[in-house]
Amino acid sequence: MKRFSSPPGEPPGEAGIVSESPAEVFREMVSEAIERRRVRASPPAEFYLVNLLTDFMHTRRLYPESSPARPTLVELLAEARTSGPSSQLAAFRRLGDVALFVAGFFTESLSRSLVDVDYYVAMGGGAYSHASRLAASMALREIFDELSHHFVTFMDVIGEVGERSQVAGARNQDLLRVYETFLRTGSERARRKLSEAGVLPLEGIDTRYRQ
């Protein structure tokens, strides 16, 4: 993939483009955001954020094959509460992950929607708290507990990553809607808008058309 290494708010030049894997790009950006914000994050939590960003940009985790449409947080919560013991942890984790990703990466889009960011914070933080209680290993319990108690902090870290992955002018666009359209349909027009906005990465995203 291509990563823009120019300062935030400045269009990248040819000298500012390097080839790195998505995980490498996000690892660097998350680490720098944590350092700039002086966030006290454990290495496992930092690693979790990197994986979350990489997964949601490159897999169907945000729109799984089993979902006919984008589920709401309420629907994800209902699914988690009614899931069997073997799948409940994964369901609460997914609710937390979706809330954290959307609240962080698309904060400005949420500010113009009917559901504000506080709703995502409450739902996501609560979901990670449930996941912490359900996790079998101490390591997972500690990660989910940290994500729950410091949800807003990690949301801000992801938000900074989102800002750095956009060129000037991107903040005035409804990137959340464009991103959803691209994931759901594979639209070339949506792909082009994301590319022009500097949203990274774009290569290798798995999309499929939905009727």
pLDDT digits (tens, 9 = 90+) for 13-59: 334 444 467 788 889 999 999 999 889 999 999 999 999 998 887 55
CB of 46 within 8 A of CB of 30? yes
Question: According to the model, what pLDDT value does residue 111 have?
Answer: 60
Identify whether 210 is part of a domain.
no
CB of 36 within 8 A of CB of 163? no
The residues of the chain scoring below 70 in pLDDT are 1-20, 58-70, 108-115, 165-177, 180-189, 197-211
Nearest C-alpha neighbor of 126 from the set 183, 172, 80: 80
Question: According to the model, what pLDDT value does residue 143 have?
Answer: 97
Identify whether 203 is part of a domain.
no
Identify whether 204 is part of a domain.
no
CB of 104 within 8 A of CB of 157? yes
Identify whether 65 is part of a domain.
yes
Q: How far apart are CA 156 and CA 162, in angstroms?
A: 10
Question: According to the model, what pLDDT value does residue 1 have?
Answer: 38
Identify whether 208 is part of a domain.
no
Question: According to the model, what pLDDT value does residue 52 have?
Answer: 93
Q: Tell me how many domains the chain contains.
A: 1
Identify whether 77 is part of a domain.
yes
Question: According to the model, what pLDDT value does residue 176 have?
Answer: 66
Identify whether 33 is part of a domain.
yes
Q: How far apart are CA 127 and CA 190, in angstroms?
A: 31
Entry pTM: 0.69
Question: According to the model, what pLDDT value does residue 127 have?
Answer: 97
Phi-psi domain of 204 (left: phi exceeds 0; alpha: psi -120 through 50; beta: other): left
Q: How far apart are CA 9 and CA 121, in angstroms?
A: 27
Identify whether 156 is part of a domain.
yes
CB of 132 within 8 A of CB of 150? no
Domain range enclosing 38: 2-197
